[in-house]
Chains A and B, each alone.
Chain A
Amino acid sequence: MEMNAKPVPYWQDWLKTLLLLAMGLYLGILIVTGNLSNYINERFQWLSYVAVLLFLLLGGWSALSLLRQQTTLNYAHARITPAALLLAAIPLLFGLLVPSRPLGVEAVTGGVSLNPVGRAAAAAAYTKPPLERNVLDWLREFAAVPAPAALDNEPVDVIGFVYREPDMTGTQFMLARFTMSCCVADAFAIGMPVEYAAAGELAEGAWVRIRGTLRAGLFEGQMVPIIQPQQVEPVDMPANPYLYS
């Protein structure tokens, strides 16, 4: 039982308490508004429920002790500097001051991958009929089949955003999606090339739904599944813009 020489200032205890409560509240708001899915995989959202409960427990307890004038927060290494408090407030500042948005086309750095990603590997894709496959499913399927031409002429119906690699021609673009396996830390842009005469009319980053057929072809020296569209229509960004890998 080490006791601190200097007592913790009262206002600092309150600031800590408010920070804890505010973080619980902030996470709660993210859950209620659905914005939480901008940040982490839906599969792990229950973890944020736990965090809300714990934040409110810690914050509520601290508030009660302070109201009862028991400044028990003053235990062991509980004394920290104002700078450290400011650091702890940084997530809240970002959360409140910067509008919450999922990663979009601007976040693509260093190009879009044409290869499937994620630990689930290719196995899951086989259960899906062609029209239900998303961009990730197609890439997995393509990686799993023995010959690239095996999927030729299969019908395609996929949604994604428009991205152009620097070396693409005016009739090409990439139908891209961000995949996520845990949270945006591992978010990764994947995509399928599209050959479309009116590609130039599509704005970078615009969400489109493409119906057409598949054809294996060379792109950047690699055999990839290329979409031959029959119909390209603009759509709203899906409620959940990430694909979970």
Chain B
Amino acid sequence: MQAEARPTATPALPDTRLPLRPLVYVLVGVFMVAAVLYGTLNTGQPPDVVLTIFSTRFLGIFIEAVPFLLLGTLTSGLIEAFIRPDDIVRLLPRNRVLATVVGAFLGIIFPVCECGVVPVVRRLFMKGLPVSVGITFLLAAPFMNPIVFASTYIAFGFSTIFIGRFILTATIAISIGLIFALTARTEEVLQPSSMMAGDGFDLLQPRRSLRQGLAMTITVAVGEFFEMGRYLVIGCLLAACMQTFIPQDALLEVGKNPVASVPVMLAIAFILSVCSTVDSFLALAFTVTFTTGSILAFLSFGPMVDIKSTLMFTGVFRRKTVLYLFLLALLMNLFAGVLINLSMGYF
């Protein structure tokens, strides 16, 4: 289509697989070997029993999460096929601060997960979306969407965690958006390739026919399922390892500490890079042993910033901006998590 004729208008996102792959696989490998060694030495169970328990725990998380991954990838496909960037821009208020606030909730109408959101935001920036609005949308949308509401609800019910996740995500995303609204200029924030293209001509793609669109939806969904599915598998493996091999006493020691538990969960969120549609089920594995504040920080921080989204961010923002986004989200969630723990009497 138009983009093919003008390849410079929409340069491809950099290939994020290369630096990511070895890192993730090495981490997983080391962790698995260490866990199995530790497990066989400490649990005193025969290997086949340990393997069965591990398999049950792993499959349990995976089976509960996979319907949401499938729904998420299908939605992403639908957006890719049927929604044009100007559809989103048209919905925003003119006032920049108001638009930043609204940006936090745009995901409710355009449900995208943390992976789907990056290309969408980039296209919106090129269409002239204010930076602050895009950043708020980017940070909040992975949670602020019906699919993630549903998975969080199924995992935790309408509880402190659900409500807390909503408030925390909205507050932090809007705060960071406003910080950028007040301090930063567009050209300092964005990669040149993500800024408004001269005429924005390539963005006015003709709408697809229903048949074409549905075909594309499924094609995109299949690709995304494998792209994102591996993070889910790795996440499930690690969570199952932790539950099977690490004694609960050891976890409780860190997990019930109102301060230390928060950075631990933040680190886990960053490393696991699990899709926001399914992270609630992983968080469940920690609810028995970890503080509420740390679980909330995990659920709020993970969808905003993690290994894979950070790599994808570098395709949109200048490196300094990526660093700011990471640090702001990290520090705010750390602060919020510890504050919640201290004010809730360590629970």
Binding site for B on A (CB under 8 A): 1-3, 16, 20, 23, 27, 30, 36, 38-40, 44, 47-48, 50-51, 54-55, 57-58, 61-62, 65, 72-73, 75-81, 83-85, 87-88, 90-91, 94-95, 98-103, 106-107, 109-111, 117, 119, 181-188
Contact = CB atoms under 8 A, between A and B. Distances in A.
Given A76-B223, A81-B21, 12 more contacts: A27-B63, A40-B63, A44-B154, A62-B218, A83-B21, A88-B229, A91-B66, A91-B236, A119-B157, A182-B281, A185-B281, A187-B57
A40 B282 CA distance: 14
A2 B12 contact: yes
Interface in B47-63: 49-53, 55-63
Nearest to B15: A77
A54 B227 CA distance: 17
B342 to A, nearest CB: 23
Interface string B15-56: 001000100010000000000000000010100011111011
A91 B218 contact: no
Interface of B: 1, 3-4, 10, 12-13, 17, 21, 25, 43, 45, 49-53, 55-64, 66-68, 70-71, 74, 80, 154-157, 159, 205, 215-216, 218-227, 229-230, 233-234, 236-237, 239, 243-244, 247-249, 252, 281-282, 284-285, 287-288
- The 9 A-B residue pairs with the shortest CB-CB distance in the complex, in nearest-first order: A78-B223, A110-B248, A184-B60, A98-B55, A183-B64, A51-B67, A39-B60, A54-B70, A87-B230
B3 A2 contact: yes
30 contacts: A1-B3, A1-B4, A2-B3, A39-B60, A40-B60, A40-B64, A51-B63, A51-B70, A65-B215, A76-B220, A77-B227, A78-B222, A78-B223, A80-B223, A81-B21, A88-B226, A88-B233, A98-B52, A98-B55, A100-B56, A101-B56, A106-B50, A109-B247, A110-B249, A119-B157, A183-B284, A185-B57, A185-B60, A186-B288, A187-B60
A42 to B, nearest CB: 12
A1 B60 contact: no
Given A83-B21, A88-B229, A73 B223 contact: yes
B218 A57 contact: yes
A87 B273 CA distance: 15
Contact of B285 (A2, A39, A119, A186): A186
A103 B61 CA distance: 13
Q: Is the interface of A mostly helix, strand, loop or mixed?
A: helix
A65 B214 CA distance: 13
A101 B221 CA distance: 32
A47 B43 contact: no
Nearest to B234: A87
Contact of B247 (A3, A90, A110): A110
B288 A188 contact: yes
A54 B249 contact: no
B70 A185 contact: no
A182 B156 CA distance: 8
A75 B70 contact: no
B55 A94 contact: yes
Nearest to B46: A106
B156 A119 contact: yes
A99 B48 CA distance: 10
A50 B233 CA distance: 19
Given A47-B67, A81-B17, A185 B55 contact: no
Contact of A94 (B59, B70, B80): B59
A149 B60 CA distance: 39
A90 B234 CA distance: 9
Q: Which of A81, A88, A107 has the most CB of B within 10 A?
A: A107
Nearest to B51: A98
A73 B219 contact: yes
A35 to B, nearest CB: 10
A58 B222 contact: yes
Contacts of A78: 219-220, 222-223, 226-227
Contacts of B239: 185
Nearest to B227: A77
A102 B226 contact: no
B52 A101 contact: yes
Contacts of A40: 60, 63-64
Contacts of A181: 284
